[in-house]
Amino acid sequence: MALSKIDAVNFLTGTIPSGNVANASLNAVTALPAAIETGSIVKLQTQTASTSSSITFSSTYITTTYKKYYLDYTNVVISSDGGNIAATVSANNGGAYTTSGYYYWRIFSNSADGNNSIASGGGTGNSSLLMVGTGVGLGTSTDESGSGRMTIFDPFSADSKLFISEGLCIGNDGTLVQQYIYQGLVTSTTINNIKISPNTGTIVSGEFTLYGVTT
């Protein structure tokens, strides 16, 4: 297709002729046209821990709207050296939490280890969903903290519930620890609430953000 006209003046200055666009000024743009996708990851809520015993995302945010959720945790510090943070889920918005029967398989390595020194193992009877601080616990010394993400797959599915935690921390031994934990809960019961807590003590600080993922 050949160009029918080139406006030489506007080409040089970069000015858009106002007649060619609905809003010639960026300040006048207040919304994207409906036809443009706004993205597939939607931030639902951020909570900031402050010596908190637990942090919960309720059925207000965990809904049938999304088939997948990301739970990000950043710069988490807990009060007990060597502890970890983990989550339990509820089918009735916190009325009761499942505290047994979590399947898991974890793999972790440590910056203090040599090449190819990767530890792994699993089980079927965990009391919670591991997040970060397993294998080597979270440290409490200055500059020691943990971060990561838990992917929650379709909590409203009629099939088993599946989770992946990927985290890293400067552990209580002062090394960098990388952790991947694949987890499952064999139940057809839906999930609409997740509670995060340390195994002992409190969550001194850290940000927890829940995202909904459009699939």
Partner 1 sequence: MTHTHKLIDGVRIDLTAEEIVEIEAREQAWEAGAFDRAMEDLRFKRNAKLAETDFHGMSDRTMSAEMTTYRQELRDLTNGVTTKEQANAVVFPTKP
Residues that bind partner 1 (CB under 8 A): 45-47, 49, 51-58, 60-61, 79-80, 94, 110, 113-114, 116-121, 135-136, 199-202
Smaller CB distance to partner 1: residue 40 or 59? 59
Cα–Cα distance for residue pair 108/165, rounded to 1 Å: 12
Output the CA angle 46-50-52, nearest 5 degrees: 95
Nearer to partner 1, 46 or 75 (CB): 46
Least distance CB 91 / partner 1 (angstroms): 17
- Tally the C-alpha atoms within 13 A of residue 29's C-alpha that lie toward its C-beta: 8
Name the residue among 170, 167, 205 with its Cα closest to residue 79: 205
Nearest residue (CB) to partner 1, 52 versus 183: 52
- The count of C-alpha atoms lying within 13 angstroms of the C-alpha of 123, restricted to the half-sphere facing its C-beta, is 9
C-alpha separations of 149 from 22, 26, 92, 168 in Å? 41, 36, 24, 10
Say how many C-beta atoms besides its own lie within 10 A of residue 16's C-beta: 12
**Nearer to partner 1 (CB atom), residue 94 or residue 162:** 94
Report in angstroms how near the CB of residue 52 gets to partner 1 at its nearest. Answer: 5
Q: How far is the CB of 199 from partner 1 (least distance, A)?
A: 5
Q: Measured from the CB atom, is 80 or 151 closer to partner 1? A: 80
Shortest CB 90 distance to partner 1, Å: 12
How near is the Cβ of 67 to partner 1 at its closest, in Å? 21
- Minimum distance from residue 157 beta carbon to partner 1 (Å): 23
Residue 204 corresponds to which tokens in the numbers above? Answer: 């001194």
Total H helices, total E strands in the chain: 1, 12
In the complex with partner 1, the residue whose CB is nearer, 90 or 145, is 90
> Which residue, 176, 107, 183, 186, is CA-closest to 152?
183
